[in-house]
Amino acid sequence: MIRNLLLCTAALALTAAPALAKEAPPAPAAPKPFALPPLTEFTLANGMKVTMAQHGNVPKVTIVASVRTGNIDDGQNVWLADLTGALMQKGAGGRDASQLAEAAAGMGGSLALSTGLDSSSAMIDVLGESTPDAVALVADLLQRPDFKAEELEKVRADMLRNLMVAKSTPGSIASEAFSAALYPEHPYGRTFPTPQQLSGYTLEQIKAFHAGNFGAARTHLYIVGRFDPTTVRAAVEKAFGGWAAGAAPTALPVPAEPAPKVVLIDRPGAPQSTVWIGKRVAKPGYDMDFRATNTLLGGYFSSRITRNIREDKGYTYSPSASLSQRVQGAFWVEDADITAESTGPAITEIYKEIRRMQDTLPTDAEVQGIRNYMNGTFVLGLSSRDGLAGSLANLDVQGLGVDYLNGYVGRASALKAADFQTAAKRELSVDKLSVVIVGPLESVRPQLEKVPEIAAKLPKK
């Protein structure tokens, strides 16, 4: 009873109180200028480049050694670069994998090596006082891998399992078909080896790949954090100064852009379709206007395509657009896992959003939102040691330097509504988009025949 009286009294009080005006949020402040920390750069006599930066307040250091080799050097031997990199981690400089891990752990970190299309990277994060020893450990990994035959078979078995898993997932199947459509007869277009290929690579091939592609002339070492620069420079010269220069990075231009195509891959009974829509874009994939266009179109959670086919219509849960950078050319793609019965309508809406970006200017609120988002994620990404080292390495691989990073906030803040429209028209010609669909074709194909942008390009049954 008392509780009911109190509730009634509170309700009357709220009813009698005058409505408060909703206060508008304050206008955002102008973005602060951004500048990288001072960089110390030098080149060893063998051609290896080194960049060092004092960064942060924590007495730790991130070391990244970026080597300009990867799947670009595979030729027809798909994943030979990956197999080489995986085996390098199983022993180097007389230490086996567990001893390498123990040595890194004793410095407060862990050692890893990753293989990409255009570059491979060794990375370690350690206490600042251990930086000279960490430099030596990275040098062992890159220069003196043990390549033991018994470890090869273990690595191969793991990679064969990974291959079988990847080849069974619709996302990987779509990625393989999409890359092949955009980059025919080029390493960029070769995603997976056959099991027979992977089973057939020999230890001699692996050793030859390492000898031919890992060298000082292809390597750039980045050291970021808190460390004594004089001591660390001496450690770098001692650990890497005797490394042979080796060959220059491979230059293998992609062939002319092929005609757009529609690829259909059947997965009978699947409840959803995996859809990839995209095309190659101009090589300067870091153009600010197109990066902004990609973000607004599909590159973040509040993007137009996401709001349309996820929030408004419920066709899909996780659509996304991305801009993939490669030395020999970039590509743009929108990908989504779409309920099978909505595949055709969802593709129609994606095309509508691309055209809307080309035909009408974004609102002032959209433009300001993208400026804020891009500047915020950019500064946040460079706030850590590994973020700064990784960004420097990636931009150097792409042929861009510190000027790109130092000018980023200014360029993003200067974006205008017309920039989005111009970039969409320049890069995303609707009639040049390739489409890959992995799904239950019995129910999906009739839907595709009603999508005018792709109906005439459908492969024959």
pLDDT digits (tens, 9 = 90+) for 125-162: 999 999 999 999 999 999 999 999 999 999 999 999 99
For 138, residues 6+ apart whose C-beta sits below 8 A from its C-beta are 63, 65, 111, 122, 124, 221, 239
Residue finishing a domain among 208, 241, 274: 241
The CA R_g of the chain, rounded to the nearest whole Å, is: 26
pLDDT tens sequence across 207-226? 999 999 999 999 999 999 99
Report if residue 329 sits inside a domain: yes
DSSP 357-415: HHHSPPPHHHHHHHHHHHHHHHHHHTSSHHHHHHHHHHHHHTT--HHHHHTHHHHHHT-
Residues 151 and 288 in one domain: no
Contact 45, 241 (CB under 8 A): yes
Residues 360 and 439 in one domain: yes
Which H/E stretch holds residue 148? none
Which H/E stretch holds residue 131? helix 131-143
- Local confidence band at 33 (pLDDT 50, 70, 90 cut-offs): confident
Residues 226 and 268 in one domain: no
Residues 46 and 86 in one domain: yes
Residues 305 and 173 in one domain: no
Report if residue 16 sits inside a domain: no
- Higher pLDDT, residue 62 or 328: 62
CA distance 58 to 127: 9
Q: What is the CATH number of the domain that holds 228?
A: 3.30.830.10
Residues 210 and 97 in one domain: yes
pLDDT tens sequence across 364-422? 999 999 999 999 999 999 999 999 999 999 999 988 888 889 999 999 999 999 999 99
Contact 420, 299 (CB under 8 A): no
- Per DSSP, 432 falls in state G
Report if residue 252 sits inside a domain: no
Q: Check residue 27 and give its pLDDT.
A: 67
Name the residue range of residue 215's domain.
39-241
Flag the least confident range among 53-57, 286-290, 371-375, 423-427.
286-290
How many other C-beta atoms can be found within 10 angstroms of the C-beta atom of residue 39? 16
Residues 207 and 281 in one domain: no
Q: Check residue 25 and give its pLDDT.
A: 66
For the segment 13-38, the average pLDDT, to the nearest whole number, is 64
Residues 275 and 234 in one domain: no
Residues 272 and 174 in one domain: no
Q: Check residue 400 and give its pLDDT.
A: 86
Instruction: Return the bridge partners of 409, or none.
Output: none
Contact 249, 222 (CB under 8 A): no
Q: What is the dihedral of CA 183, 185, 186, 188, to 10 degrees?
A: 40
pTM of the predicted protein model: 0.89
- Length of the chain counted residue by residue: 461
Q: Check residue 9 and give its pLDDT.
A: 39
414 burial (CB, 10 Å; 0-12 / 13-18 / 19+) is exposed
CA distance 138 to 239: 9
- Per DSSP, 215 falls in state S
Report if residue 52 sits inside a domain: yes
Looking at the structure of the chain, the number of domains it has is 2
In single-letter form, the type of residue at position 305 comes to I
- Per DSSP, 214 falls in state -
- Indicate the average pLDDT of the chain: 92
- Local confidence band at 22 (pLDDT 50, 70, 90 cut-offs): low
CA distance 106 to 219: 26
Residues 290 and 219 in one domain: no
In single-letter form, the type of residue at position 245 comes to A
Residues 324 and 423 in one domain: yes
pLDDT tens sequence across 277-299? 999 998 654 689 999 999 999 99
Report if residue 25 sits inside a domain: no
Residues 386 and 268 in one domain: yes
Report if residue 417 sits inside a domain: yes
